[in-house]
């Protein structure tokens, strides 16, 4: 029985040599090729790219070969490239999509396939379901069409993508402020992107983990607080005002303040929202997932800007970017993009905009966050994962269907079911429960207006699961 290939929030990911095998990649690419052919019969072209993971080049070569057998021109990227650069290349080259071999921030034993549609956005569920149906159809009758093979072409997204970033980010402001920056690409696809752009603009920048390592230093290439000590060390060494990091495929970001404090993505999105309103004068809207901080809601209310709350998954924010409904959209899992840019998470852009913000405002990120709290009040968000036994999961799943009127003595003001169950409480705090689709885990997002209340809310949320 062949493995069922399912595309989740960000494509299909699996452990190499278990489910991510040459045979399964072969099936997946045939499914994508059949889908693209069904959408465009005349001269389709698809970009093929990758992050620096093990065997990436081999998977790209196989994908290019399969696409060309369907008469689809493969536009192959030779070097590892950031996911947002691939997204931008889809739009600029008017391609019919992109196959990107990446497992993003997952541990090194994983690989994956992200499929982008012709608008450069992550494929929406209707597209991934159509691809899954095409994989099943190919499994049932593994025939390739009798068409003339298309010639493979090469494409380099780096130049056009960096040129776009120069238009968005005020590099002169960073240079004039004399801000020093440390950068950690985490051995990933942003090597030679963020730092090269800054260096070329005359900014002092020092880089760590700037070699290819398919094992990413022996851990997941995730720009998380606990994995950024080498970046902190480099910051101290050069006296950096900010440290910026990107994950394996550079769609996520991690930001460290001048004193070594890691700022969670919730705060970075809120700070950049505030900064873009101030410096760009944009007022068209703001997007956030249901699990992202309500500090953004408070700022939207203050600035009289329309707020869009989406399910978790950047593809929903990408849609709002495409429709020019929002000036910035982000998720607490460290993904954001802005108006007029790609409808895809961009960790490179996020880091560079933070550098611009620190340079222009002449204040540390911590000070700037204090300023936001002074404007609209304080917000303390938290995300936790809890593993569930089958019995607990079954009982808890039933509980999620209910409509509680109070939560540990606090009145429930609003029940939100955009994604999972979110209870907004009368005191302005909230808790959101989302069951993982891939493992027996519940993700719990909570936010309160003080650290003490957050500790109580977190304990209550845990008790609610296991009671």
Same domain as 279, residue 235: yes
Same domain as 424, residue 317: no
* Interval 114-163: pLDDT, tens: 999 999 999 989 999 999 999 999 999 998 888 889 999 999 999 999 99
H or E segment and range at residue 445: strand 441-448
Same domain as 103, residue 211: no
List the CATH number of the domain containing 432. Answer: 3.30.310.50
Same domain as 136, residue 222: no
Same domain as 319, residue 175: yes
Q: Is residue 4 part of a domain?
A: no
Q: Is residue 2 part of a domain?
A: no
Q: Is residue 48 part of a domain?
A: yes
Q: Is residue 5 part of a domain?
A: no
Same domain as 201, residue 131: no
Same domain as 422, residue 357: no
Same domain as 279, residue 402: no
Same domain as 397, residue 355: no
Same domain as 384, residue 361: no
Q: Is residue 266 part of a domain?
A: yes
- For the four alpha carbons of 185, 226, 337 and 180, in that order, the dihedral sign comes to negative
Report the C-alpha gap between 453 and 172 in whole angstroms: 43
Contact 128, 7 (CB under 8 A): yes
Residue 356 domain boundaries: 160-376
Instruction: Please name the residue that has the structure tokens 């910051």.
Output: 235
Q: How many domains does the chain have?
A: 3
List the CATH number of the domain containing 70. Answer: 3.40.120.10
Q: Is residue 288 part of a domain?
A: yes
Same domain as 331, residue 191: yes
Phi-psi region of 285 (alpha: psi -120 to 50; beta: other; left: phi over 0): left
Same domain as 433, residue 339: no
Q: Is residue 402 part of a domain?
A: yes
* Interval 337-393: pLDDT, tens: 999 999 999 999 999 999 999 999 999 999 999 999 999 999 999 999 999 999 999
* Interval 297-327: pLDDT, tens: 999 999 999 999 999 989 899 999 999 999 9
- List the structure tokens of 15: 């452990």
pTM equals 0.96
């Amino acid at each position: 029985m062949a493995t069922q290939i399912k595309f989740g929030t960000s494509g299909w990911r699996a452990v190499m040599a278990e489910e991510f095998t040459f045979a399964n990649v072969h099936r997946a690419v045939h499914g994508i090729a059949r889908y693209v052919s069904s959408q465009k019969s005349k001269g389709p072209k698809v970009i093929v790219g990758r992050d620096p993971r093990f065997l990436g080049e081999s998977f790209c070569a196989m994908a290019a070969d399969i696409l060309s057998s369907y008469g689809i021109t493969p536009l192959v990227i030779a070097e590892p490239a950031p996911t947002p650069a691939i997204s931008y290349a889809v739009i600029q080259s008017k391609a019919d999509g992109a196959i990107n071999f990446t497992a993003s921030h997952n541990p090194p034993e994983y690989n994956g396939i992200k499929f982008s549609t012709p608008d450069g956005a992550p494929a929406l569920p209707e597209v991934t379901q159509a691809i899954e149906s095409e994989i099943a159809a190919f499994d049932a009758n593994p025939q390739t069409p009798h068409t003339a093979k298309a010639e493979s072409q090469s494409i380099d997204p780096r130049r056009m993508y960096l040129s776009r970033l120069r238009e968005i980010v005020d590099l002169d402001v960073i240079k004039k402020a004399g801000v020093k920056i440390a950068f950690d690409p985490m051995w990933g696809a942003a090597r030679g992107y963020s730092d090269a752009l800054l260096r070329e603009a005359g900014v002092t920048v020092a880089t760590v983990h700037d070699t290819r390592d398919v094992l990413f230093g022996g851990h997941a290439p995730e720009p998380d607080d606990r994995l950024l000590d080498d970046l902190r060390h480099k910051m101290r060494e050069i006296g950096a005002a900010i440290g910026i990091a990107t994950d394996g495929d550079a769609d996520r970001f991690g930001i460290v303040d001048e004193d070594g404090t890691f700022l969670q993505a919730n705060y970075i999105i809120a700070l950049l929202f505030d900064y873009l309103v101030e410096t760009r004068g944009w007022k068209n809207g703001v997007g956030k997932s249901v699990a992202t901080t309500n500090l953004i809601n408070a700022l939207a209310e203050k600035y009289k800007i329309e707020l869009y709350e989406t399910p978790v998954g950047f593809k929903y924010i990408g849609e709002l970017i495409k429709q020019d409904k929002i000036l910035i959209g982000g998720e607490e899992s460290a993904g954001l993009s802005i108006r007029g840019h790609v409808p895809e998470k961009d960790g490179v852009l996020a880091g560079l905009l933070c550098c611009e913000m620190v340079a222009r405002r002449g204040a540390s990120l911590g000070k700037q966050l204090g300023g936001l709290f002074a404007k609209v009040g304080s917000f303390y968000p938290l995300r936790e994962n809890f593993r569930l036994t089958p019995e607990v999961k079954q009982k808890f799943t039933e509980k999620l269907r209910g409509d509680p009127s109070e939560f540990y003595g606090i009145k429930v003001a609003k029940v939100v079911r955009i994604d999972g169950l979110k209870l907004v409480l009368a005191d302005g705090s909230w808790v959101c429960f989302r069951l993982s689709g891939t493992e027996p885990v519940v993700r719990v997002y909570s936010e309160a207006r003080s650290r003490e209340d957050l500790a109580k809310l977190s304990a209550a949320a845990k008790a609610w699961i296991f009671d």
